[in-house]
Structure 1
Amino acid sequence: MSPERDVILAVDIGGTKMAAGLMTLRGDLIDRTQVPVDHSLNAAELFASLCSIIDDMRARAGDHHQMTVRAVGVGCAGPVTTNVETVSPLNISSWRNFALREHLAATTGLPVYGDLDAKALALAEGWLGAAQGRANFMAMVVSTGVGGGVVLNGQLLDGATGNAGHVGHVVVEPNGRRCPCGSRGCLEAEASGRAIEAITGRPPTEPSYETMQRTGELVGRAVASVCNLLDLDLVVVGGSVALGFGATFFNSAQAVLDRHSRLEFSRGARITPARLGDRGPLVGAGAV
């Protein structure tokens, strides 16, 4: 492939929106668009909505950028099976065991590669972002849902089914709110965008100081458990909730992380914003 003429069609699928973009082989995101997730649609209709932005990006690749799309890279909210053969995002009820890879390959005629959205973010932040040059770290998405991707000894962890890194289902409030996974008190049930709206009656774009602080504290609690378990000293956090809450969130998360990471190897672990910002999910999808 030619770095000057070829691009990857990157696709990011979350509980609130689906995005598509064009990424060069150097990791530059040269174009992108998005569409909201309409939860009233059935599986086929939702995929048609995704196809509308994919078709738009493919057309712009040739007509506007004079470049050729060579492959499709996907980051999708989980759970997923290997290479997004099937996806069952907890926050997209119409897709249960949806054959995403097969549908995308048939639609585009291109090779399709995919992984969890937060694992894709880990690839992006390790390649071009806040974890560049680091062999051990976790990347997190705190948005509509909460997910994670873990890199140990330079290798992205897959786990038995490809779903390693689901930090959103670490329990942070025993006997807390019911989670979409069926358990109670998961980080996702307490600190995701959907949870915040359900708890406060306000969208996460209109948070109180107390909401931003509590969300950071809960994330810090989960992060401390992971750092103590896996001997990590860096956690990179992206997603619209975390980045939107800004310094209040990150300062609260760091304070709790400091309080609960007391072992010699985990003391001093840092939690930091994703350097790639809102570009990270698509860059990660392209990197898959």
Structure 2
Amino acid sequence: MTYVLAIDIGGTKLAAALVDREGAVLRSATRPTPREDVFDALALLIAEMVAEGPVPVAVGIGCAGPLNLAVGTVSPVNITTWRDFPLRERVRELTGLPTVLAGDAQCFALGEHWLGTGAESRSMLGIVVSTGIGGGLVIDGAPLLGPTGNAGHVGHMTVDPDGDPCACGSRGCVERYASGPNLVRWATENGWTPSPADSGPAVGGTEATGEVVPDGAMLARDAAAGHPVAVAAFGRGARALAAMIVSTAAAVEVTHVVIGGGVANAGPILFDPLRRAMDELAGLDFVKRVEIRRSRLGVRAALAGAAKLAWTAGRPTAAPPPEPHDAR
């Protein structure tokens, strides 16, 4: 039995696994992402994975971005010590193995297409709705990465040209409306405070003050209980997501959308208004037929996608062009 080494790198955790051709995991491990010496922590995790054999045949990495596949560098927003960090080459040097790299949301999409809810789709958009919003496209079984590896950046599609400025430098990006922190921000600005059920020990605050820091899970609980501002926040975010999905479907003709990330854990609180907004905004017949599903793999999706990336590295995704005929 042969295996690849799959690695998932984010601002919160480092994860790795040995994965066979069918997606079965031999062993895996997860570590918190340190503030400094991130590569040292990653090297220790890799050593743990390969210490007892078998030796993997390739490495696939999904990493938070931005990234530049042309040179194999990454600059994750939440890993401040990595700016234009040569991740692909460093891992290749460390392991001596062929190493491939993609964005973590692209790996999420590829993993869901391989082992999750998008398995039968020929044209799929995967969306991670969490602290930010990331995405990835899988077309005819292959990830669409783009020249520098940043294709699928759907979180920064503009859904309101006159909307609020976004951290990316644009305006009215879907992330500004539908990411977890922005759902909470808008609800708080419009008078929402967590219900008394959430006012126990501090969440992100200090026990000395008993301060409660509102988060997306609290907002979802209050929306489920019918709090009007919490319900409106999810409705507003869902409509922004629907506008982005409709635009992406019109441009790429995706047939399936799979949504994961922490905000997706709100379940019907997010998905019900999302489907209603899709019904309202989708015009063309092929856009109306888009199926929206919740992630089956959850936090395992990006690791599965990194493994699939390693297994398919170097395999052509289209037939080579025919040889030119000799005109003589």
Q: Which residue of 2 aligns with 1:118?
A: 105
Instruction: Say whether 1:238 aligns with 2:260.
Output: yes
Match of 1:35, as an amino acid? R
CA contact (8 A) 1:77 1:117 kept: yes
| Rounded Cα–Cα distance in structure 2 between residues aligned with 1:153 and 1:24 | 22
Q: Which residue of 1 aligns with 2:308?
A: 287
> What SS is found at the alignment partner of 1:19?
strand
Instruction: Say whether 1:167 aligns with 2:189.
Output: no
| Rounded Cα–Cα distance in structure 2 between residues aligned with 1:261 and 1:105 | 45
| Rounded Cα–Cα distance in structure 1 between residues aligned with 2:133 and 2:304 | 19
Instruction: Say whether 1:262 aligns with 2:283.
Output: yes
| Rounded Cα–Cα distance in structure 2 between residues aligned with 1:230 and 1:197 | 31
Match of 1:276, as an amino acid? L
CA contact (8 A) 1:90 1:181 kept: no
Q: CA RMSD in A?
A: 2.3
Instruction: Say whether 1:103 aligns with 2:99.
Output: no
Q: Which residue of 2 aligns with 1:228?
A: 250
Give the count of matched residue pairs. 274
Match of 2:245, as an amino acid? V
Instruction: Say whether 1:272 aligns with 2:315.
Output: no
TM-score, length of structure 1 as denominator length: 0.85
Q: Which residue of 1 aligns with 2:193?
A: none
Greater Rg, structure 1 or structure 2? 2
Q: Which residue of 2 aligns with 1:13?
A: 9
Instruction: Say whether 1:202 aligns with 2:214.
Output: yes
> What SS is found at the alignment partner of 1:147?
strand
Structure 1 stretches of at least 4 aligned residues deviating more than 6 Å after TM superposition: none
**Gaps spanning 5+ residues in structure 2: where?**
189-212, 224-229, 310-328
CA drift of 1:100 comes to: 0.4
| Rounded Cα–Cα distance in structure 2 between residues aligned with 1:25 and 1:84 | 27
| Rounded Cα–Cα distance in structure 2 between residues aligned with 1:92 and 1:68 | 29
For residues 1-150 of structure 1, the aligned pairs below 5 Å read: 4=1, 6-38=2-34, 40-41=35-36, 45-59=37-51, 62=52, 67-82=54-69, 85-150=72-137
**Gaps spanning 5+ residues in structure 1: where?**
none
TM-score, length of structure 2 as denominator length: 0.75
> What SS is found at the alignment partner of 1:179?
coil
Q: Which residue of 2 aligns with 1:184?
A: 171
Match of 1:203, as an amino acid? D
CA drift of 1:110 comes to: 2.2
CA drift of 1:127 comes to: 1.9
Q: Which residue of 1 aligns with 2:324?
A: none
